[in-house]
Amino acid sequence: MPDSQARDNYEAYEAKYRAVLEREHLGRFALMHNREVVKIYNDEGDAYSIGCEKFGVGKFSLQEIGAKPVHLGIMTAALN
């Protein structure tokens, strides 16, 4: 379920990754899958394309480092 992947990844980002990533990668994009950061990208399009190729549509999420999403449903909708 895409909503679950996005929600779980965001919770993990907040709990485990936010502080370190904001110090080192502000403004970049974290590709996340199963509550883990897979890789950091400069370009959101690259991160999305690689996420689709590696995991499939709706089975990963992207987090802009330093930004909070307005609504997790928007992130999920973009992945569908």
Model confidence at 69: pLDDT above 60: no
Q: What pLDDT score was predicted for residue 2?
A: 57
pTM: 0.80
3-state helix, strand, coil in the chain (%, to 5): 55, 20, 25
* pLDDT at position 1: 46
Output b/e per residue, 35-64; b: 16+ Cβ within 10 A. eebbeebeeeeebbeebeeebeebebbbbe
